[in-house]
Amino acid sequence: MVDFRIIGKRIKSRRKELSMTQETLAAKLSVTPSYISLVERGKTKSSLERLDEFADLVQTDLEYLITGVSTNSSHYFDQEFQDILKSLPANKRELLHKILMALNEF
């Protein structure tokens, strides 16, 4: 299920990081500032196409707005690697460590 309240918070956070007002964002999307407020509070649902427009204008990607993780981030795989490592038994972690050390030498 899509949590539009969280998506709205992410849009608002990025907008503020860019020192952009609701009015400016609204003008760029050809909507009213009231609509921006509704989106940022999660009081309305937006289509994927509209969310992609928001993402472009607040200089992020759609994945970040929806999941909170940007595939463009250099840390994208960090959590996934940590989760995999935690699930491995000790002997496989040791083997993986040896493989990584060998790869690091190249």
**Sequence-separated (6 or more) residues with CB below 8 Å from residue 35:** 26, 29, 44
End-to-end C-alpha distance for the chain, whole angstroms = 44
Domain coordinates in residue numbering, the chain: 4-67, 74-106
pLDDT of residue 95 exceeding 90: yes
CATH 1.10.260.40 fits 4-67, yes or no: yes
What pLDDT does 74 receive? Answer: 61
Phi first, then psi, for residue 100 (nearest 5°) are: -65, -40
What is the model's pTM? Answer: 0.69
What pLDDT does 52 receive? Answer: 96
pLDDT in tens, 37-88: 999 999 999 999 999 999 999 999 999 999 887 766 666 667 678 878 889 9
pLDDT cut 70: percent of the chain above it: 92
Residue 13, amino acid: S
